[in-house]
Structure formats: C-alpha cells, structure tokens
C-alpha cells in the first residue's frame, strides 16, 4: 500500500512494505540446506556439519540477504504499479521489531523525478552576435602579439608609463622597518597594475640615479595588516629606466609565431583563420548560454534533493581534484551550502535537457561525434594525433556523447527560437575591455 506522508518536499513519496516472516524463514531454510554441504568447520567432516551449527553461523547473514531481496522485489513491483521514476536510492525504515510479529514491516521513503512540461519554446528570443573578421581585428591582434614580445632598451630620460624600471626602496612605519617594506634591485613595468597607485606615481618622472622620499597611506583592505590603512614613509632610488621596444612585423616576427618560412602574408592569413575559429567558438558559447538561461527562465522544475546533494558531491570533488592538480593540498573547510545554488542549477538544467532530448529524439549520431572531435582538435598543434587519441578509447568517445547531446538540444532550440542578429566588436564578443592589453 502506498501512503503520502506530510512533507515539504513535493517529490518525496512513501510506500509501506510488508514481508511475511514465514516466507522469509522458509527461504532461509532452503538456502541453508544448499549451503550446508559446502561449509567447512573444524571438527566436522565436509558436508557433515549439523544444521543447527550452520544456522548459528550463517543464519543471520542469510536472513538479511533474503529479507533484502524480498523487500527490493516488493518495492520494485509497487514502484512499477505507480509508474514512479525513482531519483536516488530509497531509504528503508523498519516499522516493527521483535520476533513475535508475523511479518516484517518497512516504510520506503524516496524521491521521484518531476514531470516536466516543455511548453512552446518557439517564443524564446536569442540575440545572436554577428562579427566579420577584417583588417582592424587582424591589426589589433598583431599589436597584442607584438606587446607580448616586447624588448626593453636602456633609456636616458625620466620614467614613464610602460617603462621597465629597476629600483631600491626602503619603507618605515613610525621610524621602524616593516615586513615587505624593503627591496633592492627590484624590477617592475610601470602601468601593469603590480604597484600601488601612489607608490607608482612617485616613480613616474624620476631619472636614473635619482632618490626620492615620500609619504603614502596604504589602503584599508591591504593584505599586510601591519600597515593597512596607515601612513608610511618610503625612500626610493631609481637604478635604471628601460623603454619598451616592439618588434617589427617582418619575417623574423612571423617565424617567432611559427611561420617557418617567415612569410608575413601567410602569418596574417593564419591570424585571420585563428580569429575566425575563435569567433565561431565564442558565438557558439554565447548562444548556448542564452539557450540554457532561457530554458531555466521558461520551464519550472522541482528538483529532487537527493540529486542536488549528489551534484554538490561532484562539485566538491572537482574543486579538490583541481587543487591537487595545481600542487595544493585538498581543502578541509569547504562548505556544502556554497555549492547549493550551482548544484541546483545544474540539476534543473540537466532534467530539462534530458526531457527535451527524450521528447524530440535528439540522439547522437556517429558522424556528429567524429565532427565534434575533429573540430576540437583544430586548436592543437597536431590535430590528427588528437583525433586518433580520442578514437583509441571507447571511454573517451563516451565522454564526448553528453556534449554532443547538449549541442543537439541547443541546435533544436535555435531552429525554433526567434533569432535577432546583433552586431558586435571582437572585444565585446570576447569580453575584453581593451583589445591591446597584454
């Protein structure tokens, strides 16, 4: 018999289960008889151990197995009759105890998957970024690449933003040294954000060999608690000023980018191809993000709590694995609540996508797997090796399938949705604030 207990969880269900004690005892007896000839106990010949001793030694274990099997069988039959789709593992709670009862009574508590109504998804509006890669984008990228390969040459002039300077500095708080307040032969590039604003401003305009003493106040939130929010005195000596020199866009520069013959036009063509590939990938990501958020906004779904907890476990495992991979120890103080919102979002989205894929038959085709891997491999130096590596392992192919399924769902939505083209710049698409930042 199924009962619905009072609960704040709309997906929680209870089923009352009853297993005849007589039926359990009969099955236990049969199993012990089959087991007896195989038992070896010191003092008895094989197959001659008395049933009483067999029961004493193995009766409790066999009874536990039999009861578990009969409970699971009855539970499966009850779930099947109710057409429940179980989320997670049920919890079986004993409702009686002692040996004077004619049956074992249990309550099974579990969660079910929600019924998801997809509704009309054609009303979804998606803004599609539109961008054509031209000379402007190529030139901006060349400037970034040149800045990444900047050389520095000695300059006989005052220091300015962009220069690399070498300094000695001595800081004091109330006339005494403080931790981190002293350094000799310290090199830094002005304007790259490594120095506090007031400290850097005092270096600007200084010449080689010049010494300067000034006061400054550290920010209230400065990491060094000893001086946070306090006024200190610094003395700086400027040892060297070096001006940045960008490389010319020539054959040598092209070779530094992997163009073996130094052909500048070939270099520009490769930059354009890379930008187009990057643009295509970024547009795809932007479209996918909008589709996913639109599905979450449009479709209301109750999520099984057990699935959320399982997802939190996975997120914590990901964090720990990342820490270990970077050479850090596993964190011991991760709070599960901090992962709750992200876990709920993942589970909710996963349920919606599963329903969409099931409803519209968006299964994965072998050619899609092949195309996905080949496209992914293009960002590597040896694409053919990457493709071979994937196809050498069924497990690696299996890992690709959920990604392709997701792409199928996104493509299906985009075919139905209202697409609005939106012209963007390369910087806007990539989320850059300045195209020439290093």
pLDDT at 433: 47
The b/e string for 420-434 (b: 16+ C-beta within 10 A; e otherwise) is eeeebebeebeeeee
pLDDT at 97: 63
Full DSSP string of 5-27: ---S-TTEEEEEEEEEHHHHHHH
Mind listing the pLDDT tens digit for each residue in 252-286? 999 999 899 999 999 999 999 999 989 999 999 99
Query: Is the same domain home to 322 and 397?
Result: yes
- What's the rounded Cα separation, in Å, for the pair 228 and 214? 17
pLDDT at 44: 82
Q: Which domain holds residue 158?
A: 151-245
Model pTM score: 0.72
pLDDT at 414: 95
- How many structural domains is the chain composed of? 3
**Domain's final residue, options 193, 210, 245:** 245
Per-state percent for the chain, helix, strand, coil, to nearest 5: 50, 20, 30
pLDDT at 99: 62
- Under-50 pLDDT residues of the chain: 1-6, 433-438
Query: Is the same domain home to 240 and 285?
Result: no
User: Are residues 165 and 187 in contact, defined by beta-carbon separation less than 8 angstroms?
Assistant: yes
Query: Is the same domain home to 288 and 328?
Result: yes
Query: Is the same domain home to 128 and 268?
Result: yes
Report the phi/psi class of residue 100: left, alpha or beta, with left for phi > 0 and alpha for psi in -120 to 50: alpha
Query: Is the same domain home to 325 and 423?
Result: yes
Assess if residue 7 is contained within a domain.
yes
Query: Is the same domain home to 287 and 402?
Result: yes
pLDDT at 146: 94
* DSSP conformational letter for 187: E
Query: Is the same domain home to 420 and 290?
Result: yes
- What's the rounded Cα separation, in Å, for the pair 269 and 187? 37
Alpha helix segments (H runs only) across 118-216: 135-148, 197-203
pLDDT at 432: 61
What is the Rg, in whole angstroms, of the alpha carbon atoms belonging to the chain? 35
Query: Is the same domain home to 305 and 363?
Result: yes
Tokens 């009855």 found at = 74
pLDDT at 435: 36
Query: Is the same domain home to 106 and 129?
Result: no
pLDDT at 388: 92
Query: Is the same domain home to 316 and 405?
Result: yes
Mind listing the pLDDT tens digit for each residue in 93-135? 988 865 667 889 999 999 999 999 998 999 999 999 999 999 9
- What's the rounded Cα separation, in Å, for the pair 196 and 93? 62
């Amino acid at each position: 018999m199924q009962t619905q207990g009072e609960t704040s969880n709309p997906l929680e269900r209870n089923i009352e289960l009853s297993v005849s004690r007589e039926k359990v005892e009969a099955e236990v007896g049969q199993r012990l008889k089959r087991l007896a000839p195989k038992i070896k106990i010191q003092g008895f010949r094989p197959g001659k151990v008395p049933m009483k001793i067999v029961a004493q030694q193995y009766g409790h274990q066999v009874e536990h197995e039999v009861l578990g099997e009969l409970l699971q069988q009855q539970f499966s039959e009850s779930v099947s009759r109710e057409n429940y789709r179980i989320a997670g593992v049920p919890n079986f709670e004993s409702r009686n105890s002692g040996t004077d009862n004619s049956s074992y009574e249990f309550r099974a508590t579990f969660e079910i998957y929600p019924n998801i109504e997809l509704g009309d998804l054609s009303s979804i509006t998606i803004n599609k970024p539109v961008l054509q890669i031209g000379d402007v984008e190529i030139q901006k990228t060349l400037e970034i690449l040149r800045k990444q390969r900047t050389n520095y040459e000695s300059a006989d002039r005052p220091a300015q933003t962009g220069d690399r300077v070498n300094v000695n500095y001595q800081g004091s708080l109330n006339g005494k040294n403080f931790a981190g307040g002293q350094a000799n032969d310290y090199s830094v590039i002005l304007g790259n954000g490594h120095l506090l604003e007031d400290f850097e401003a005092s270096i600007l305009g200084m010449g080689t060999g010049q010494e300067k003493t000034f006061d400054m106040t550290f920010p209230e939130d400065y990491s060094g608690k000893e001086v946070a929010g306090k006024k200190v005195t610094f003395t700086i000596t400027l040892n060297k000023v070096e001006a940045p020199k960008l490389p010319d866009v020539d054959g040598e520069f092209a070779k530094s980018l992997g163009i073996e013959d130094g052909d500048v036009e070939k270099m520009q063509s490769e930059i354009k191809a890379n930008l187009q590939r990057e643009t295509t990938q970024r547009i795809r990501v932007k479209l996918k993000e909008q589709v996913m958020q639109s599905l979450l906004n449009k479709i209301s779904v109750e999520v099984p709590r057990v699935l959320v907890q399982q997802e939190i476990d996975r997120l914590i495992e990901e964090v720990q694995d990342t820490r270990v991979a970077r050479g850090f120890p596993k964190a011991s103080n991760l709070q599960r609540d901090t992962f709750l919102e992200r876990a709920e979002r993942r589970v909710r989205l996963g349920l919606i996508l599963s329903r969409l894929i099931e409803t519209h038959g968006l299964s994965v085709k072998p050619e899609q797997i092949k195309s996905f891997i080949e496209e992914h491999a293009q960002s590597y130096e040896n694409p053919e090796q990457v493709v071979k590596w994937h196809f050498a392992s069924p497990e690696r192919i299996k890992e690709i399938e959920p990604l392709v399924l997701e792409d199928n769902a996104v493509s299906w939505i985009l075919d139905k949705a209202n697409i609005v083209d939106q012209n963007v710049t390369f910087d806007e698409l990539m989320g850059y604030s300045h195209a020439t930042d290093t």
